[in-house]
Amino acid sequence: MLAKSLISVAVIVIIAGTAWYLFAQNSPTDIGKILENPWEYAEKDLTISGTVKQAVSVLVAQYFIVDDGSGEIPVITDKVLPKVGARVKVHGKIDTAFELLGVRLIVFIEEK
């Protein structure tokens, strides 16, 4: 009887922990928070969501701009570009595209 109770508790703890982990990994991070403190999010796997404001394809790169109401960020991708106005959810990491004369461009690199 005690063994069955311990097994039941262990199963509940594993299920609850897994659900928490999956929810935490998939809940979008506010773009405004990322832009405000980019060093806090460096090297972390993130999810952002919002509306596509612009989609651009140039010779060697393509990107789209996502706006979630708290800010907007360019998303560099090698996937098919979403349509302007589409709601998207993107997984990836942030990076600094360039820094020049104190101006830093933070970009979101979509995972492959």
pLDDT tens-digit profile of 11-29? 676 765 555 555 555 689 9
Range 64-74 average pLDDT = 97
**Whole-number pLDDT of residue 103:** 77
Residue-wise DSSP of the chain: -HHHHHHHHHHHHHHHHHHHHHHHHHSPPPHHHHHH-HHHHTT--EEEEEEEEEEEE-SS-EEEEEE-SS-EEEEEESSPPPPTT-EEEEEEEEEEEEEETTEEEEEEEE--
Average pLDDT score over the chain? 85
CATH topology of domain 30-110: OB fold (Dihydrolipoamide Acetyltransferase, E2P) (2.40.50)
Q: Where are the domains of the chain?
A: 30-110
User: Mind listing the pLDDT tens digit for each residue in 88-107?
Assistant: 999 999 988 677 777 778 89
pTM of the full predicted structure?
0.75
